[in-house]
Amino acid sequence: MKDNAWTGCTQQQIKEIGLFSQEYKSFLSQSKTERECIKYFSKLLEENGFLKLSDAIANKTPLKQGDKVYAVNMNKALVAFVIGKEVLQKGMNILCAHIDSPRLDLKSNPVYEEDGFCMFDTHYYGGIKHYHWVALPLALHGLVCKKDGSKIDICIGEKEDDPVFGVTDLLPHLTEKEKGFNKLLSKQEEIEGEVLNLIVGSKLKGGSAKAKILEVLQEKGIQEKDFYSAEIEVVPAGKARDFGLDESMIIGYGHDDRSCAYCCIRALIDSQNLAKTSAVMLVDKEETGSPGATGMKSKFFENMIAEVMNLMGEYRELDFKRAMNKSQVISCDVTSGFDPNGKQQYYKNTEAFLNGGVAFSKYTGSKGKSDSNDANPEFIARLRKILDENKIVYQFTEMGKVDQGGGGTISSILAEYGMEVIDAGLPVLSMHAPWEVISKLDLFENYRFYKTFVETTNF
Ligand code: MN
Ligand code: MN
């Protein structure tokens, strides 16, 4: 076992960790989609003196040291800057994290009837184990866009008197021997993605359960064809809460990677006297390979950096390239924590342990480090210095055994600019399950590390 960092904590530190965790749980409970995260963070940034970059562009407001701006991309990605003392061509300190999480999405034409029930058809998003998503209460979050330009926000299943939804499963008596009789068995290989369908109603109208639900939707202003222009995510219903008896852990939906995203934003807000301009990038679509206009592969981020340089009076193509090339990045993403219930899948010496602090992955990828960013030792040595000087608890880790484990992050995309990049985040238990578990101490140490990183001048 690795050292458990709670052992060295003072009463004061335990209090600080508790307070930070309390605020995090509140954030996580109300931010279950990309859009909800952006809404939460935009408000938090504005309350802390960040102005809209779009306003600064429209008014040609010059940006100078100490100014704080942020820009939102299609309500699903965000970049926030604090302008430092030095010119941008010397590079930036960048934190990036993703705010999308595995889930079920409603299909474009989801409503159908089956044996007296009205159902919503889904297509899962990201890497899930299908059998995790049956027999638990689920909520609907998202929006419906109407042809007249209006939008209807959807959030059903979170208030105490709200209904919830679910994918039902067969009882054990029916599934012990009859493999293949019904695809709803309690094993991953037995549950096909296509049968992850929500039951949403069982009353009839004119003999039809679907007609009844369409009537209910109509009362909310939604026609069946409005689902063509809707984005509705099916997520676990309920709040993030303490896990265990000793106030050390939190269970919640979407720790991957909203725990890192939250620490990034709080670190930028709380940072002081920045010599280098610092940025936080929060992206969508990481769980599906970072494509699309709101994913890390989008040009949005470099476009916004160009806009900031322009308002600083520094934009020239070569200087922009230098700014990108000289920047250094922490790719803030979670990793798998060592699980006492699944020891055989791990190689103990290199796994991330809960309560072991910030988990660094020098490289990610799988099978011979394929597609991974492999961080430079020169960069890592500089990071070790600030980690030790600030007494931040950390560990260097891999995900699973060689040839068995592995996974990707957005680090390799940013490395394409020639930036120094390394992955660092929290260890997570039950990662990618509807309810994931993290340590409060790891959460706080990640926040402290991200803050120290953006405040550090002399790399
Ligand atoms: Mn992740
Ligand atoms: Mn993930």
What is the pTM assigned to this prediction? Answer: 0.95
In angstroms, what is the span from residue 347 Cα to ligand 2's centroid? 20
Round to whole Å and give the CA distance between 51 and 45: 8
Q: What is the pLDDT of residues 131-160, one digit of tens each?
A: 999 999 999 999 999 999 999 999 999 999
In angstroms, what is the span from residue 133 Cα to ligand 1's centroid? 19
Could you tell me which residues come within 8 angstroms of residue 34 by beta carbon, excluding any fewer than 6 positions away? 75, 76, 77, 99, 100, 284, 294
Taking a C-beta distance cutoff of 8 angstroms, is the pair 285, 96 a contact?
A: no
pLDDT at residue 330 in the model: 97
Q: Is there a cis peptide before residue 153, judged by omega within 30 degrees of 0?
A: no
Ligand nearest 425 Cα, by number?
1
Average pLDDT on 102-114 reads 98
Q: What is the dihedral of CA 98, 104, 105, 106, to 10 degrees?
A: -170
3-state secondary structure 145-205: ECCCCCEEEEEECCCCCCCCEECCCCCHHHHCCCCCCCCCCCCHHHCCHHHCCEEEECCCE
Between the alpha carbon of residue 192 and those of residues 119, 127, 133, 184, 197, the distances in Å are: 16, 14, 11, 8, 11
Average pLDDT on 367-384 reads 89
pLDDT at residue 68 in the model: 98
Could you tell me which residues come within 8 angstroms of residue 263 by beta carbon, excluding any fewer than 6 positions away? 97, 332, 443, 446, 447, 450
Three-class secondary structure of residue 438 per DSSP:
strand
Q: What is the pLDDT of residues 409-419, one digit of tens each?
A: 888 899 999 99
pLDDT at residue 356 in the model: 96
Taking a C-beta distance cutoff of 8 angstroms, is the pair 411, 422 a contact?
A: yes
Q: What is the pLDDT of residues 223-272, one digit of tens each?
A: 999 999 999 999 999 999 999 999 999 999 999 999 999 999 999 999 99
Round to whole Å and give the CA distance between 398 and 338: 11
1: pLDDT confidence band, cut at 50, 70 and 90?
A: low
Q: Which residue matches tokens 């709080």?
A: 266
In angstroms, what is the span from residue 423 Cα to ligand 2's centroid? 13
In angstroms, what is the span from residue 94 Cα to ligand 1's centroid? 17
Average pLDDT over the chain reads: 93
Q: Which residues surround ligand 1, an ion (CB under 5 A)?
A: 256-257, 333
Q: Which of 168-172, 186-190, 228-232 has the highest mean pLDDT?
A: 228-232
In angstroms, what is the span from residue 291 Cα to ligand 1's centroid? 15
Inform me whether the pLDDT recorded for 186 exceeds 70: no
Round to whole Å and give the CA distance between 112 and 96: 40
Per DSSP, helices labelled H in 365-408 are 377-389
In angstroms, what is the span from residue 337 Cα to ligand 2's centroid? 13
* Domain extents in the chain: 5-101+253-455, 104-236
Count the neighbouring beta carbons within 10 Å of the beta carbon of residue 407.
18
In angstroms, what is the span from residue 350 Cα to ligand 2's centroid? 20
In angstroms, what is the span from residue 192 Cα to ligand 2's centroid? 21
In angstroms, what is the span from residue 260 Cα to ligand 1's centroid? 9
Q: How many CA atoms lie within 13 A of 185 on its CB side?
A: 15
pLDDT at residue 178 in the model: 52
In angstroms, what is the span from residue 101 Cα to ligand 1's centroid? 8
Taking a C-beta distance cutoff of 8 angstroms, is the pair 239, 126 a contact?
A: no
Q: How many CA atoms lie within 13 A of 378 on its CB side?
A: 4
Q: What is the pLDDT of residues 397-451, one digit of tens each?
A: 987 777 777 777 888 899 999 999 999 999 999 999 999 999 999 999 999 999 9
In angstroms, what is the span from residue 272 Cα to ligand 2's centroid? 31
Inform me whether the pLDDT recorded for 368 exceeds 50: yes
In angstroms, what is the span from residue 217 Cα to ligand 2's centroid? 33
Q: Which residue matches tokens 């981020």?
A: 301
Nearest to 158 by CA among 135, 134, 138, 144: 138
Ligand nearest 411 Cα, by number?
1
Taking a C-beta distance cutoff of 8 angstroms, is the pair 169, 154 a contact?
A: no
Q: E strand or H helix at 419, and its extent? A: none
Can you state the angle between helices 11-29 and 440-455, rounded to 10 degrees? 90
18: pLDDT confidence band, cut at 50, 70 and 90?
A: very high
Between the alpha carbon of residue 122 and those of residues 166, 197, 199, 218, the distances in Å are: 11, 6, 11, 21
Ligand nearest 261 Cα, by number?
1
Q: E strand or H helix at 61, and its extent? A: none
The number of residues making up the chain comes to 459
Taking a C-beta distance cutoff of 8 angstroms, is the pair 376, 420 a contact?
A: yes
Average pLDDT on 356-371 reads 86
Fold type of domain 104-236: Aminopeptidase i, Domain 2 (2.30.250)
Fold type of domain 5-101+253-455: Aminopeptidase (3.40.630)
Taking a C-beta distance cutoff of 8 angstroms, is the pair 287, 102 a contact?
A: yes
pLDDT at residue 457 in the model: 74
